[in-house]
Amino acid sequence: MEIKVAVIGAGNCCKSLVEGVSFYSGNSASRIPGLTFAEIGGYRCEHIKFVAAWDVDARKVGQPLHVAINQLPNCAMTIKSDASDVCENTIVRMGPVLDGVGPLMPSYTPSETFIVSTQIPDSPETIVRILTEQKVDVILNYLPVGSQLATEFYMNCALTAKVAVVNCIPVFIASDPVWEQKFINAGLPIIGDDMRSQFGASIMSAVLQELMFSRGIDVQVHYQDNIGGNTDFLNMQDKQRLVSKKISKENVIKQQNIINGVEIKPNTIHAGPASYFPALGDNKRAHFLIKAEGFGGSPIELTADLSVQDSPNSAGVVIDALRLIKVAREMNIVGALHGASAFTQKTPPIDMSPSLAYQEVKNLAERKFTTFTEVMVKDKNPNAEQLVKYFKSLVTRK
C-alpha cells in the first residue's frame, strides 16, 4: 500500500515535503499536530514514497534525492536531517530546461540562484519509461513560476505514462478545460493549479473576504503584499514570469466576490509577490489591508501581518493532495478534483468557500461520493467544459 511520487523540481518545497513525510511516518495517532488529516482513505504519511525526481541544477542532478534537497540554493528549515527512508535509492535526474530557468537568474550569486547542469537532459521517451517502470502514481510539479513550456512538457509525459498530476504552480492546467479534458480522456485525475499554503496569505485573504461578506460588510479595498528571500521570490523578480502568479493570487480574493454575488469593482483588489530580500531566506512575510463599511456606512479598517516558513507551509497542503489524488484514482474519479483543488490550490477550476472545500475533501478522505465527484467517474465520460458551468452554478449564491 504505497503512493509512488515523481517530483519535478528538487527545491525548497520538495525539501520540506520529503522531510515532512519522513518526520510524520509511523505516527499512528488519530489527530496529529501539523496535519489536516492523519489518514486519507486509509493512507497515512508513511505510505508516500518518492521514487523518481528531475531537476536542472548541477548541485542536485546525480545526487540521491535526500542529499539533493539539502544543496544550495535551497534554504528551507530542516524538519528531519535524514529523510532517506522515504526516497531510498532515488537519484535526481537531469530534466529539460526549456523555460524553467528565467533569464535573470544567472545574474545572481550561486548561493541564491540555479546553476544549470551540463548533463544531457532526459528525453520524453526516457521520462515516460521511468514513470512506467517505477509504477508512479502521481507527478508533483514544483517547477519555478513561469515555466509554461516545461510544465506542458511534463504534463504530456504524465498523459503518455498514465500518471496523475498535482500541479503546484500557476501554469493553468487543471483550470483549463482543454487540458482537463485530456486528463479525463486518459482516465486520470488532476489537482491544480498553484498551491495555497496550509496557513498562508491566500487562505487568510479568502477567509477574511468570506467572513466580511457573511456579516453584511461592504469590502471596498483588499490589499495583500508579500516579501521573501528564497528562489521562488527571486525568480518572480522577472515581471514577465510573474503575470500568471498575480492572476492566481488575486483570483483567491475575487472568487469569494463571485461566489457571494458581490460586484468586483476596478482597482480595489491587489495581491501578489512584491519584493525579494535574501536575508529572509525561506521566511515569507505578508501584509494585509482591508477597508470596508459596516452598518450605516460606518468605516472598518483591518491591518494584519503574517510571518511563515514558506516551504513547510506549502508541504502541509501537498501531503494531503498526494493522498487525495491516490484515493480518487482508486474510486475511478477522473479530471479535476474540484473539492481537493479548491482546498489546496489558488486557481482551481471551480472555487468554493473554504468551508465547502474542506467538506468536499473530508468526504473524499472518507471515500464518499458527492455532487462534485459522482459525475466525474470515468464510466460517465465527463465533459470538462460543460461540467465547469454546472459546478459554478452550484457554488454561486443566487
User: What is the predicted pLDDT for the residue at 272?
Assistant: 80
> How far, rounded to the nearest angstrom, does the alpha carbon of residue 72 sit from its chain's CA centroid?
22
Across the range 187-200, mean pLDDT stands at 98
Axis-axis angle for helices 148-161, 124-133 (nearest 10) = 50
Query: Residue 54 has which C-alpha cell?
Result: 528531475
Q: What is the pTM of this model?
A: 0.97
Return the minimum-mean-pLDDT range out of 204-218, 241-255, 279-293.
241-255
Distance (Å, whole) CA 116 – CA 98: 11
Rounded distance between C-alpha atoms, residue 314 and residue 306, angstroms: 15
Where is average pLDDT lowest: 68-77, 272-281, 301-310? 272-281
Q: Convert the pLDDT of each residue in 58-93 to its tens digit.
A: 999 999 999 999 999 999 999 999 999 999 899 999
Q: At what angle do helices 354-365 and 201-214 cross, to 10 degrees?
A: 120
Whether the predicted pLDDT of 309 surpasses 90: yes
β-sheet with 335-336: strand ranges across: 92-94, 48-55, 3-8, 138-141, 164-167, 189-191, 335-336
Average pLDDT over residues 47-66: 99
Looking at the chain, the whole-number percentage of residues with pLDDT higher than 90 is 95
pLDDT surpassing 70 at residue 398: no
Catalogue all structural domains in the chain, each as residue range(s) with its CATH number: 3-196+312-365 (3.40.50.720), 201-309 (3.30.360.10)
DSSP state letter for 64: B
Distance CA 16, CA 284 (A): 15
**Residue 207: pLDDT over 60:** yes
In DSSP terms, 218 is beta-bridged to 293
Burial (CB count <10 Å: 0-12, 13-18, 19+), residue 356: middle
DSSP track, 243-295: HHHHHHHHHHHHHHHHHTT----TT-EEEEEEEE-GGGTTEEEEEEEEEEE-G
Q: How far apart (Å, rounded) are the C-alpha atoms in residues 4 and 342?
A: 23
Query: Do residues 205 and 271 touch, judged by C-beta distance below 8 A?
Result: yes
CA–CA separation, 345 vs 202, rounded Å?
A: 9
